[in-house]
Structure 1
């Protein structure tokens, strides 16, 4: 009877060990997948940041170009007015 009890305990321990190994394997696979996804997310975030920086640089260049163009337009308009030009769109009352 004692031998049967020991055999049952041994079998229970083996089953628990198998379950623990399967659980460990599953957790390792889950961890590997999580690391892979985190790496992929990081690459996508870096691409997004680079694109945002590129867009911001382009916006800043555009703002500078527009500002420069407005100053140049104002200068030419001022010169034209000094020479007698009147804007036909502006109505004087």
Structure 2
């Protein structure tokens, strides 16, 4: 993350990938259209992860779950984990650096 003290802007990792799966960034003060869209996408992704966890609990409790159902669940969980990891990286990079007294 880069932080410009004069403008108050940061380089933010966005919650979606660009072409070829590469990370996308925006330089922002946190109030612009792209930042608000990123906040919305993060909320949706985290909500979908919650729903997926509930679904996983149901599938895993069902002893009749088929291998195809389990593979599908695992694929969706891998996608969701990738999203959540990107959100964590983005938010962690935007945390203020603690000032240590010397």
TM-score by length of 1: 0.36
Asked which structure has the greater RCO (Cα within 8 Å, sep 6+), the reply is 2
Which structure has the highest strand share of the two?
2
Which structure has the highest helix share of the two?
1
Which has more radius of gyration? 1
